[in-house]
Amino acid sequence: MRRPSNPVNVTIDPDRLLGDLRRLRGFGACGIGVVRQSLSPIDVESRHWLRSRLEEAGLDTRIDGLGTVFGRSRNPGPALLIGSHTDTQPRGGWLDGAMGVIYGLEVARSLAECDETRHLAVDVASWIDEEGAFSTCLGSLAFCGELALTNAVRGLTNGEGKSLGDALREAGLEGVPVERCERGRYVGYAEAHIEQGPWLEHQGKRIGAVTAIVGSRNFTVAFEGQQNHAGTTPMALRRDAGHALVELAHRVYETFPEQAGERSVWTIGRIALDPGVQSIVPGRAEMHLQFRDEDEAILDRLEEHARALVAESNARGRAEARMTEVGKRSIPAAMDGRLREHIERAAEHHAPGGWISMPSAAIHDAQVLARHLPAAMMFVPSIGGVSHAFEEDTSEEDIVLGCRVFATAAANMLLGRLPPDHGPAP
Ligand code: HGY
Ligand code: MN
Ligand code: MN
């Protein structure tokens, strides 16, 4: 579907953009990948660097009481809020989140350098802990007033067992106010991100205008059997927690397809056997089950089915299984049709016919902001569809093209100018 292009075109500085992306990659570089989990010393260091770059771009900056980095335009609103995250998975790629934050920095600079857009207000945010070292989308949830820094939240721990409270104290952020969304300041929120999947590359497209973002639910299933001798305990007498876990995992993969939607996904991302040694029948076991879909009704159906499989496991009597939801579930969100149309028009302007509208199978801060502001997302291709892995990458040409499209779309979102033929959003 072709759309006429946008009335305003913005010039970015590709070398400056790539230079900042490469510099950010250096904070926690691990071979070709990046390890920069929320509030780790290297993450805090990178936040201070990012703050300095936002300062140099002429924005009023701060790092808030959770670690989110903000750059606020000195121009009067209404503003466009551009954000993403710079924290990574335990073994992450150099672009997941980071690209969208540096796009925001580059858009703020580029609009300020153009006579036709210098009066426009762009605020930039790097949300803390989108990747959930402590709690997924921690910074955007707090900004939107959906999460407060209570003692329970301070007590959340990361993979090393460090509490959020201790991490904030070590980062020098204890007692610093947590920023909240200023009512009436924003025309909307826009986030650019790598696709992290194969669809753009498979279809030979270079830009994705996101229609909706999936929801995600996370559970642990804990199994309580009886630890025993691996040699002397007859098979018929065992209460092998590991056996019960493997059986349930098999039933998930065997039966989920009949309950799932067309784009549902499910993952058993972690399995632990206790004590995990070869001559002991595991008395305890735990597995982590996550599933995602755009439709809450399908997520409900998958959850109900998973609970039925747990009941079925318990009926086998091998070990007692308990399914518990962990973390805050991510709720599916539709993106704003008018903002999305600005992305589609900008894509048509810079890459005629080289774009598609598509859903996001990854979780993003944009689905939190979408509950409070009109929100839009734009994707660039991931090479081989790989992400959440050191090998994650996108060609420099696609990174630069994506920023051109995003900057043009951002300017037009602020100008609120859709060409006269703007019909209702599809
Ligand atoms: O899991 C996700 O979808 C996101 O990349 N954290
Ligand atoms: Mn991620
Ligand atoms: Mn991300």
What is the predicted pLDDT for the residue at 2?
60
- Shared-domain flag, residues 276 and 321: yes
Are 255 and 376 in the same domain? Answer: no
pLDDT one-digit tens code per residue, 290-336: 999 999 999 999 999 999 999 999 999 999 999 999 988 999 999 99
pLDDT value for 173: 98
Q: Which of 273, 299, 325 is the last residue of a domain?
A: 325
The verdict on residue 24 lying in a domain is yes
For residue 251, the enclosing domain spans: 221-325
Q: Could you identify the residue written with the tokens 């100018």?
A: 417
Q: How far is CA 413 from CA 9, 67, 120, 195, 210, in A?
A: 12, 28, 10, 22, 15
Which ligand places an atom closest to the C-alpha of 90?
A: 2
Instruction: Tell whether 3 is covered by a domain.
Output: no
- Ligand 1 pocket test, pick from 84, 89, 330 with the greatest ligand atom count within 8 Å of Cβ, gives 89
Residues 70 and 131 in one domain: yes
pLDDT of residue 4: 62
Q: Give residue 5's pLDDT.
A: 57
pLDDT of the residue at 327:
85
Residues 258 and 376 in one domain: no
For residue 265, give the CATH number of its domain.
Answer: 3.30.70.360
Ligand nearest to the CA of 88: 2
Parallel/antiparallel/unpaired status of strands 355-360 and 60-63: unpaired
Give the whole-angstrom CA distance, residue 119 versus residue 227: 69
| Per-residue model confidence (pLDDT) at position 426 | 32
Task: Return the beta strands (E) in 196-264 as ranges.
Answer: 207-213, 215-224, 228-229
Is the pTM here over 0.85, yes or no?
yes
Residue 1 lies in a domain: no
C-alpha–C-alpha distance, residues 399 and 382, integer Å: 10
| Atom number in ligand 1 closest to CA 361 | 3
In this structure, the answer to whether residues 100 and 246 fall within a common structural domain is no
Point out the domain boundary residue: 304, 325, 346: 325
> Do residues 390 and 308 share a domain?
no
**Low-confidence residues in the chain, pLDDT < 50:** 419-426
Same domain, yes or no, for 52 and 177? Answer: yes
CA distance 415 to 287: 50
User: Apex CA 347: angle with CA 346 and CA 351, to 5°?
Assistant: 125
Q: Are residues 91 and 175 in the same domain?
A: yes
Same domain, 280 and 403: no
Give which of 153, 124, 5, 174 is closest to 365, Cα–Cα. Answer: 124
Same domain flag for 235 and 360: no
How many domains does one find in the chain?
2
Q: Give the per-residue pLDDT at 417.
A: 63
